[in-house]
Structure 1
Amino acid sequence: MGNAYKAQEASFQSGKYVIAGDREGWLSLFADDAVVQDPVGESPLDPTGKGHRGKDAIAAFYDMVIGPGDMQKFEITGSHPAGDECANVVEIRNVLGDTVVEMQMVVVYTANDEGKLTSLKAYWDFNKTMG
């Protein structure tokens, strides 16, 4: 199974930290050279589509996207560990000012031997969701 269960545990912690608004706890889950792609590909949140690389960039992503919101729901409805990864089906409800974002996404977490996340890839359609 490689590090699949380490990735799964980190994924569960990630959701708890996001709901709690615990920035430092969330950032502590990541390896120094980790990459966050949320969503995967080019979007206004990541114009290059290459992801937010390294702790400073991941912290800036948190401050831009997660921190300002009121995450009211982060429910993992399915969790599938394999290899060094865990793929979760997640339903969220986030309130960003006057905008309410409700969606389902697939988030793939990859962990290293120490249990730190090296990659977080969230699959959702920015244009459809934020329309």
Structure 2
Amino acid sequence: MTAVTWKASRTETPARVASWRSMEAVSSGAKEAWLALFAEDAVVEDPVGPSMFDAEGKGHHGKEAIAAFWDLAIANVERFEFAMHDSFAAGSECANVGTISAFLPGGARVDTEGVFVYHVDENGLIKSMRAFWETERALATLRTP
């Protein structure tokens, strides 16, 4: 199965291309390739606000903190599948609407529906990635074998 399913506009914009590359790196487990997509002063908020990944809800600032986020939220998932249903690009940003499926050790699966917003700088590097999703809604989809 393809790890990234894209049913939205295929018009290339810098932010949309960065989002594609981000999803490809995550689905491939390529931490260093993923980190290389970010500007040095980038911020990741996934999800936006306080969460199990960011108790204070202030986001992960800078590449070191973003790398730590990978280790906490991404590295322990066996595989990710992305299904993006729509994408809206404007200026240096894009907002993708879709579902991210996380396959966990032991065969469990969680589907997270959300809006995923990417803002890039003049070099196409990600300045911010903000994911709008609700923990309770995601956990309600938890399926175990």
TM-score, normalised to structure 2, is 0.83
Letter in 1 for 2:131: A
Of 73-82 and 21-30, the range deviating more from structure 2? 73-82
Where does structure 2 lack aligned partners over 5 or more consecutive residues?
A: 1-11, 141-145
Does the 8 A contact of 1:71 with 1:92 survive in 2? no
Does the 8 A contact of 2:112 with 2:137 survive in 1? no
Q: Deviations over 1:4-45 (max 9, x none)?
A: 911110001111111111111111100000000000001111
Of 57-66 and 99-108, the range deviating more from structure 2? 99-108
CA distance in 1, matches of 2:38, 2:22: 10
Q: Secondary structure at the match of 1:92?
A: strand
Does the 8 A contact of 1:32 with 1:55 survive in 2? yes
Does the 8 A contact of 1:76 with 1:89 survive in 2? yes
CA distance in 2, matches of 1:62, 1:89: 21
Where does structure 1 lack aligned partners over 5 or more consecutive residues?
A: none
CA distance in 2, matches of 1:75, 1:25: 21
* Partner of residue 27 from structure 1, selected from 30, 35, 39: 35
Aligned-residue sequence identity (percent) comes to: 42
Letter in 2 for 1:6: P
* Partner of residue 120 from structure 1, selected from 122, 129, 139: 129
Q: Which has the larger strand fraction?
A: 1
TM-score, normalised to structure 1, is 0.91
How many residues align? The count is: 128
CA distance in 1, matches of 2:83, 2:138: 17
* Partner of residue 119 from structure 2, selected from 110, 116, 131: 110
Matched, 1:68 2:97: no
CA distance in 1, matches of 2:35, 2:112: 23
Query: After the TM superposition, which residues 1-131 of structure 1 pair with which residues of structure 2 at under 5 Å, given as runs?
Result: 5-98=13-106, 99-130=108-139
CA shift at 1:83, angstroms? 1.6
Q: Which runs of 4+ in 1 moved over 3 A?
A: none
